[in-house]
A and B are shown apart, each in its own frame.
Chain A
Amino acid sequence: MVEKKLGRLLALAERLLGRRGEAEEVAQEVFVRLWKQAPHWQPGRARFDTWLHRVALNLCYDRLRRRREETPDEDADEAAADPADAPDALLQAKQRGRRVARALAELPQRQREALVLQYYQELSNSEAAELMGIGIEALESLLVRARRSLRERLAAEPKEKR
């Protein structure tokens, strides 16, 4: 169970929070809550995944809310440590990934959530909309703005970095 679900939950939290350490704490907390709820659980795989996503999302919301009240981000780019001896292709792929992660982190929160749920977590539009508490049209609108904004941000980067 842990190995099956952990990677997906960790990816969700890290893309929303932009910090590996916090993402790991969120993933851990999701499992603690899962085990506390386990005796009351009703079977149903789709609902189970939705429940996991909802718990993870709420924990991310809490942290993002607290973060806004505290000092600006200091270690969002903590994963940017550079392997000096990495081959060129690997280094370029890492740089490209970091550039996208940075652009993703700069998106307005709701746009980022929509994109992470629909694209990276591969939820259907209706599942993502339900998790976010909005209609499908509103979700599609957020997705359009998110993708347009990302395209513009990435295009604005210097050519040699792409």
Chain B
Amino acid sequence: MFKGNFINNLPKIYGTYTGGFLAFVILMAVLEKAGVAHQTIGILFVGFTIFIYALIGYLSRTVQVDAYYLAGRQVPTVFNGMATAADWMSGASFVAMAGGIYFKGYGYMAFLVGWTGGYILVAALLAPYLRKFGCYTVPDFIGTRYGGNLVRAAAVLVLFVASLTYVTAQINATGTIAAKALDIDFKLAVWVGLISILLCSMLGGMRAVTWTQVAQYIVLIIAYLLPIFWMSNANDFGWFPHLMLGDQVQRLHELEQTLNIGTADAIINTKAQLATLGDALTKGKVASIGIAHSDSVAGWPNAWKFISLAICMMVGTASLPHIMMRYFTTPSVKSARKSVAWSLFFIFLLYSSAPMLATLSKLQLLDPNLSTSIIGKSHDIVSQLSWVKTWGARDWVALADFNGDGIVQVNEFFMRGDVVVLATPEIAGLPYVITGLVAAGGMAAAMSTADGLILAISNALSHDIYYKIIDPKADVKKRLLVARALLLLIGAFGAFLASKQLTSILGGVAWAFDFAMSGLFFPLVLGIWWKRANREGAIAGILGGLFVGSAYLYYVKFAENAADNVIWGVDNLRFGIFGGLASLILVIVVSLMTKAPDSAIQAMVSEARIPSGKTILGKQH
């Protein structure tokens, strides 16, 4: 179909793919008009997109080590940016972020700043230098720079803890979306999600994951932006929502004053009242709006809350191995650097839209001037709305009438955060095809991140533990067999944990950043920027940081009277502050107390600091 080699044809291939996907969306819209059931459309959306990803995964199969681990180091700058954006934007970003802003307002937006600002650290401190090293995995860099199996294994340990926390949340998200779209039980949906994820990565490793991630990015960004632009235009809020929703944010502020949201007169539900919600509260984790949309609170403790969360997310971003390893796949150091900028651009498109979605969604429900509003309307009418019924049946939306006036009040309408993204098209009265599209987008976001994470874990175990430590003489065939077996095993383990539903989607995600920050950030950065950092320092920094971080997490989350143990307002979402600090101090102090690294290592670091010349590790190693 296309002449010339695959890489040169990429713009054409993905252009055709995007056109094909849009044609598919239109076809679904036509089917909806023709009267095909909503559920069928949902199944077709999710089923068709998963089929395409699996096909790409199959076509990218490989038997070569550098293709399996590094996609052959030929992923062009902009495409690597797209793949990284999909790798990065998880089920949490796609499904939960707008919901978080919806419920928690300005304070929550520290996540937006953190999850974008971290890329400056990636580009300025790490990615180009690690690319010059030519390593397969992040522990591969640590092992080569500091020398020795112990430090390598310690890095694998942090990678394992951080990525597994994260991947469980992703498989959980695929399960949540698949359960709704395919109308099956959550536990079954988790395994369906896992199989879909493995179909993309089993045969082709990094190469397959790269090309499916690009395809997944295209689906997820269309699915996220289309409903926002549609709603903004349909309601005459402005044709370009990002620049034009200022008035709507002000309008929300007015409504909050009259409805007493986040004000001194706000009605707070009692525990006994909430308990009447039953499953919706315990399993669905629904809540009512209690915090103002854009208001901030004066004073240092609130500012510190914001910036400490942003710091943890930024530093965590720069230490998460599944992101860093994407920059090992570019053709050059220059391209790795620029690829970080493109990644951030593609991420920006979605993140800057999340607050817009939260604003639109909240306005649709609150503003009495809009036909879609439910606050202040009678219970009889609201409880008959089709979206209230469908999501109510899943315990994700709940209504109560605590004061018995028959009118829905702000404190009597409950919903789960994830519903903001998944149900807003329905709430706003958009055609069902948009709801199907959003489900496919959420699935793409969760799958692409899960793929990257599972691959990061299994690659570290197969390359750094199996090949580098256990069996250095293993041949290529055996290495790839082990890599694939581990992929299966890690995936199944993640799905098993996800089916237990231990954490909510976001709790797990924030912890992954804190773990990575505690154990990996300073040993990685100082490995490039401080020649004096040595093996002993790195081991102390990695293990000590991880230990301090984990111990603090236990102390403020699981110990008795955990809430009283919080120091300086650093709660369980921010434990990386102490873990990271401990790691920094340990690397420096222990390095200075022990012998400086030998001249070969110092020369290696000098070499990594210039882009030209051969990579430090060979193409095959």
Do A and B assemble together? no
Question: Which residues of A does B touch, CB under 8 Å?
Answer: none
